[in-house]
Amino acid sequence: MKLSNATLSDLPDGISRPSYDRNGLTPGIIHIGLGNFHRAHQARYLHCLMQQGLAHDWAIIGAGVRSYDEAQRQKLAAQDYLTTLIELDPAGQSIEVVGSMIDYVPIEKDNSNLIERMTDPSIRIVSLTVTESGYYIDPVSKQFDVSDPDIQHDVAHPEAPMTAFGAIVAALKMRRASGAGPFTVQSCDNLQGNGNLLRQTVVSLARLTDQELAGWIDQNCSFPNSMVDCIVPATGPKELALAKQLGVDDAVPVTHENFRQWVIEDKFCAGRPDWNKAGAIFSDDVHAYETMKIRILNGGHQIVANAGEILSMETISDCMAHPLIGALFRKVASEEIVPLVPAVPDMTAEDYVQVIDRRFSNPEIIDTVRRVAFDGSSRHTGFLLPTLRESLASGGSIEGLALVQALWARMCQGTREDGSLIEANDPIWDALNAVANIARTDPQAWLNQDNLYGDLGTNDRLSESFGRWLKLIWDDGTEAALKTYLNG
């Protein structure tokens, strides 16, 4: 059954579908970066509210700022912006059709359509999932990267920006002039203090062209911090076939795990949906939740994926089933990360490691090692190096964390231990690959990448441990290094 508004009532029994009249929905949110995660997370929370008869004036308009977003827009437009969500659980599958999105802005080079839609007073939230590396932040200083060519373009052409942030600034300038007022700008990316970083990017960009506007944005718009969590694999032929097998012909279905969490600061300058009625948590201490999640789950993903890539594992659950890689995650997480992670209400860091162990081990989730290992230059610096830095400062153990850095360096050399090629998998892959080849005989070269490690690269403890592990990996292999670490 081809998915559309007209066929909703004809879908097979057992498929949950919108009980609300989608023709009666009006927009309240524009979401930029409409990939799988957003549709399985924020869009699904909003759908659950709509199923309760709530938030019908908060429907989502999708948006993108890159040319490749147009293909996604066309696929969704052809099925009335509906999405099939398939929950994958070892105990069984469940399937639902989500209808909280009602439109998608056509993609244009100058983003004029997007800017115009954001000036509509009905839009009260502009949210984003643009990946961890998409905020133009220097990985070492954590400051706004003014030198990036995209940012330089937006400074030179503020009325025809190429970035999402330039479009937001342009729209807010028009709303200020028209009296439409501010909107909340909400990050849904896996970044610690994501709202603070988003504020820094938007306000800093505005300041480069209009100081008064920058001050108005800073004072009137809100940028709530949030923690988002749900494992959502990429969609490929298997996922497309699964949707059809379950009775839905969806061009862009989404599979996801049977776990979802969203913790949000309640700071919305123009109102918000009651997401808490759909299971989200509003909290003044988002930092504690995001520290636990980012350091154990996101950091854990890098621990597992880099070793898995070298040893030719296909999925994260394959890695967890490997006796050495699964044990590596448990030992590093329990001994080196947990001591630096505070508890949150109803959950200790030790208990959270067990939760993540089960989630990573779910064989129904086909989450590829390649997807998880992508963009290590942002993910290691954001998810693992802060823990490494704190552990060094407090005199804690760093052996496992140093080993993980050595595994990353080995992976970036570009070949697996079976001799197969690892395709480019990072925005700065060529630079990483060049240094990884030098580090094979000169390990310190890897740590001397100031854009990644900053002053960590000069730490004697880290240098000694990292060099020892990388030499062992190259001399005797990854499994030998893992066994040495696990045996103490």
Residue 372: which pLDDT band, with cuts at 50, 70 and 90?
A: very high
Question: Boundaries of CATH 1.10.1040.10 in the chain?
Answer: 287-486
DSSP state of 278: G
What's the first-to-final CA gap in the chain, in angstroms? 56
Nearest partner of 50 among 1, 116, 105, 101, judged by Cα: 101
Nearest partner of 251 among 128, 367, 15, 80, judged by Cα: 80
Q: Give me the pLDDT at residue 141, please.
A: 85
Q: Diameter of the chain by CA atoms?
A: 67
pLDDT 10s digits, 68-82: 899 999 999 999 999
The answer on pLDDT for 28 being more than 90 is: yes
Residue with tokens 């004029």: 112
Q: Give me the pLDDT at residue 216, please.
A: 98
Read off the pLDDT of each residue in 121-137 and give the average, rounded to a whole number.
Answer: 94
16, β-bridge pairs:
96
The enclosing H or E element of 257 equals strand 254-257
The enclosing H or E element of 306 equals helix 299-310
Q: Give me the pLDDT at residue 259, please.
A: 93
Q: Give me the pLDDT at residue 330, please.
A: 98
Q: pTM value?
A: 0.85
Name which of 139-143, 187-191, 402-406, 409-413 the model is least confident about.
139-143
Strands, E assignment, 349-479: none
Read off the pLDDT of each residue in 256-280 and give the average, rounded to a whole number.
Answer: 97
Q: Give me the pLDDT at residue 191, please.
A: 87
Tell me the residue type at 358: R
Q: Would you say domain 5-284 falls under CATH 3.40.1800.10?
A: no
CB-based burial, 312-331: b 16+ in 10 Å, e otherwise:
ebebbbbbbebebbbebbbb
What number does CATH give the domain 287-486? 1.10.1040.10
Q: Give me the pLDDT at residue 164, please.
A: 97
The answer on pLDDT for 13 being more than 80 is: yes
Distance in angstroms (rounded) separating the CA atoms of residues 190 and 179: 33
pLDDT 10s digits, 176-232: 999 999 999 999 998 889 999 999 999 999 999 999 999 999 999 999 999 999 999
The answer on pLDDT for 92 being more than 90 is: no
Mean pLDDT of all residues belonging to the chain: 96
Q: Give me the pLDDT at residue 452, please.
A: 96
The answer on pLDDT for 139 being more than 80 is: no
Q: 301: number of CA atoms within 13 Å, CB side?
A: 26
Q: Give me the pLDDT at residue 90, please.
A: 84
Q: Give me the pLDDT at residue 138, please.
A: 87
Q: Give me the pLDDT at residue 131, please.
A: 87
Question: Boundaries of CATH 3.40.50.720 in the chain?
Answer: 5-284
Burial class (CB in 10 A: 0-12, 13-18, 19+), 344: buried
Q: Of all residues in the chain, what percent carry a pLDDT higher than 70?
A: 100
Question: At residue 250, what are phi and psi to the nearest 5 degrees?
Answer: -115, 125
Distance in angstroms (rounded) separating the CA atoms of residues 191 and 201: 13
226, 195 in Cβ contact below 8 A? yes
Q: Give me the pLDDT at residue 348, please.
A: 97
Q: How far is CA 145 from CA 57, 139, 379, 437, in A?
A: 37, 9, 17, 28
Q: Give me the pLDDT at residue 370, please.
A: 97
Q: Give me the pLDDT at residue 171, please.
A: 98
